[in-house]
Structure 1
Amino acid sequence: MFPGFDGLMTLSRREGVDIRPTLLRVLTDLYVQTSVHSADEERQFVELTSRLIDQVDDTTRAAVRARLSIYPHTPRPIAQRLGLLPVDRDELPLARAIAQTVSPPLVPEPRPPSAAEQRLTAQLTMQPNDAAQINDMFFAANANERARILHNLADTPLRPAARIYSVRAARAIQTLENAAYAADTDSFTRELGDALILPFRVATQVVNDPGGEPMACAAKALAMPGEVFERVLMFLDPTLGASVNRVYRLSRLYDNLSERAALIMLAAWRGTAVAVTRAKYRPALYEDERQRARAAQPQPRPLQQPGVAAARSSSK
């Protein structure tokens, strides 16, 4: 039900990277979009949410509580955890005597992070495996889930990819628009990959995605004007261009999409390419190194040199 969330949970536990509030918001948004859930889906939601509720700030917890308070199928353990339902009497602990203790001295509240600390936190780079998890989760999601993922990515402290140089971006936009007019998907894909520094395989996945959200991210990373993006949608893929509703939906998504979210997705695509390359070549390199180590081991010198025994026997 929640593809890629295990990798994001790993990312959230890394020192210096705290995207647990975003994870909890995305997880809640995905859950409330469906009115019926299987027992396994409910179990996964309870397990993941229970781990995150006590680890997020009060603002995020209040937002999730408000979201689930109007959802009619909130799991009972989560509703009780958030105070939406009373705790069962059987679960209440027995009363016991209250010991007289001295109140500890008041501890000052931790100060909010400074602007410099926030900038430092926002410069944390995704590891290739984490990028691959985000990429897989994004491509496996439906249209509504993708929109929410992109909305929440803008608030994460992950380092986005650097902006494309303006002169290179302008040249790429013109080339992409001409290729779209000619419905030349191959040239369009190659130019997009060159401009965004993406392998042809990843660029092909972005261009051929039937939903169109990856294309919106790629265009936003190039700072493509909205009207140009609409023309590209209508001419590059005749099937998509013939659907007014889909073009309008993607155009509205493009207008609301932040540059930061698009550049974070670009960084994830680049990291995915690195992860695939490492996975492809690591076993071969490992075996090669072992074979080289075996070849480099010195051969034991025989105790008796060849020909010595024959010479001794002939002398006798």
Structure 2
Amino acid sequence: MTKSLFPGFDGLMSLSRREGVDVRPTLLRVLTDLYVQTRVHSDDEQRQFVELATRLIDQVDDATRAAVKAKLAIYPQTPVPVLQKLGLVAAQEGRRVPLAREIPAPAPAPSPVRAPTEAEQRMAANMAMQPKDAAEIHDMFFRAGPSERALILHNLAQTPLKAAPRIPTVRAKRAIQILEMAAIAGDVENFALELGDSLILPSRVAAQIVDDPGGEALAVAARALDMPSPNFQRILLFFKPAIGTSVNEVYRLSRLYDRLSDRSALVLLAAWRGSTLAVTRAKYQSALHDGERQRARAGANQTRPGVQPGSSPTVRTGTGGSSER
């Protein structure tokens, strides 16, 4: 039986048509990335790639088509039918039609007067809500099932709790690039490290988000970084194999991500940060309580001296009970 280059492709396509989630741009990018990672392909792999890629090229947006075209233009083993579909057919053997000029990037948006420093973000995050409330929200979210988590995220948008400040745009864009590269490489350690660093989270919470089997925590973290939906879908497909191979899970998390509000994600981010403060306080309060109890016990065991400091002992001189100092 021929091994599929991308298992579940037909199921994802039919689901996207039925449910309205367009995963075709992500699928074409993933197919292309998988294909160009290997220099030699079997006839079956080449046939599958031609069949799938030529179907998708006409069905995706211009930005996706341009990105795929740029990768396949420099890949030496790109099949001829795909080159023809992309307009890269050689005018002479061994040469390809040059690519069109790169589309100029839009002018950058005006930067704010002053982005908050990392220290200011930490202070604002820790003061946003009471540590006890933050710890309760944190624990409640990670204990909940998929439907309960969706309800929690929906309700967080309506709460008066103060949300965490937005991650600066430049830092968020850099984090998205690093996270996607780590996901494609399967580098769990660096993925968790970058996630914690960019969202100002302790390593314990970052690892909990990465290890969360449901994927909702990862969706919240991605939304807090304002990650585009196609990037999040690629991370799901590469970094979470158990989710990426399930049509229903990919669709469920993609729909959750598209409906997830920025405010819900930032409120939960504030709770994740504040929960660490609650854990730290509880640890030190326990240590202080033990220390006070030991000091109290030590004080009770001390014997009271018979003679007060600075006084002279009484000397009895007779039988009449008189005394002389």
Q: TM-score normalised to the size of structure 2?
A: 0.52
3-state DSSP class of the match of 1:232?
A: helix
Per-residue deviation at 1:125?
A: 3.5
Distance 1:299 1:194 in 2: 55
What is the match of residue 171 of structure 1? 174
- Is 1:193 matched up with 2:196? yes
Per-residue deviation at 1:169?
A: 1.1
Question: Is residue 179–residue 185 contact of structure 1 (8 Å, CA) maintained in 2?
Answer: yes
Counterpart selection for 1:145 from 142, 145, 148? 148
Deviations 1:17-46 (A, max 9, x none): xxxxxxxxxxxxxxxxxxxxxxxxxxxxxx
**Residues 302 and 249 (structure 1), Cα distance of their counterparts in 2 relative to 1, 3 Å cut:** same
Equivalence map 1:15-164=2 (5 Å): 125-164=128-167
Identity %: 61
Structure 2: runs of 5+ lacking an equivalent: 1-126, 314-325
- Is 1:303 matched up with 2:295? no
Question: Is residue 183–residue 237 contact of structure 1 (8 Å, CA) maintained in 2?
Answer: no
**Residues 170 and 292 (structure 1), Cα distance of their counterparts in 2 relative to 1, 3 Å cut:** farther
What is the match of residue 207 of structure 1? 210
Distance 2:156 2:138 in 1: 12
Distance 1:284 1:259 in 2: 39
Per-residue deviation at 1:217?
A: 0.4
Amino acid at match of 1:212: G
Question: Is residue 216–residue 250 contact of structure 1 (8 Å, CA) maintained in 2?
Answer: yes
Deviations 1:123-149 (A, max 9, x none): x93211111111222122211111111
3-state DSSP class of the match of 2:214?
A: coil
Distance 1:272 1:143 in 2: 21
Question: Is residue 212–residue 250 contact of structure 1 (8 Å, CA) maintained in 2?
Answer: yes
Distance 1:282 1:184 in 2: 37
Deviations 1:75-129 (A, max 9, x none): xxxxxxxxxxxxxxxxxxxxxxxxxxxxxxxxxxxxxxxxxxxxxxxxx932111
Q: TM-score normalised to the size of structure 1?
A: 0.53
Distance 2:225 2:253 in 1: 16
Amino acid at match of 1:303: V
What is the match of residue 16 of structure 1? none
- Is 1:264 matched up with 2:263? no
Runs of 4+ in 1 over 2 A off after TM superposition: 285-305
3-state DSSP class of the match of 1:149?
A: helix
Deviations 1:284-310 (A, max 9, x none): 1233355568889999776389xx99x
- Is 1:244 matched up with 2:247? yes
**Residues 299 and 223 (structure 1), Cα distance of their counterparts in 2 relative to 1, 3 Å cut:** farther
Per-residue deviation at 1:228?
A: 0.5
Amino acid at match of 1:151: H
Amino acid at match of 2:240: D
Question: Is residue 181–residue 236 contact of structure 1 (8 Å, CA) maintained in 2?
Answer: yes
3-state DSSP class of the match of 2:237?
A: helix
Amino acid at match of 2:144: A
Per-residue deviation at 1:247?
A: 1.2
Amino acid at match of 2:268: M
Question: Is residue 163–residue 269 contact of structure 2 (8 Å, CA) maintained in 1?
Answer: yes
Q: Which has the larger radius of gyration?
A: 2
Per-residue deviation at 1:275?
A: 1.2
- Is 1:284 matched up with 2:255? no
**Residues 259 and 294 (structure 1), Cα distance of their counterparts in 2 relative to 1, 3 Å cut:** same
Question: Is residue 233–residue 241 contact of structure 1 (8 Å, CA) maintained in 2?
Answer: yes
Amino acid at match of 1:188: F
Amino acid at match of 1:193: G
Question: Is residue 131–residue 278 contact of structure 2 (8 Å, CA) maintained in 1?
Answer: yes
- Is 1:254 matched up with 2:257? yes
**Residues 180 and 256 (structure 1), Cα distance of their counterparts in 2 relative to 1, 3 Å cut:** same
Distance 1:193 1:224 in 2: 15
Distance 2:249 2:166 in 1: 28
Structure 1: runs of 5+ lacking an equivalent: 1-123, 310-316
Distance 1:304 1:237 in 2: 75
Distance 1:250 1:215 in 2: 10
Amino acid at match of 2:145: N
What is the match of residue 104 of structure 2? none
Per-residue deviation at 1:202?
A: 0.9
State how many pairs are aligned.
186
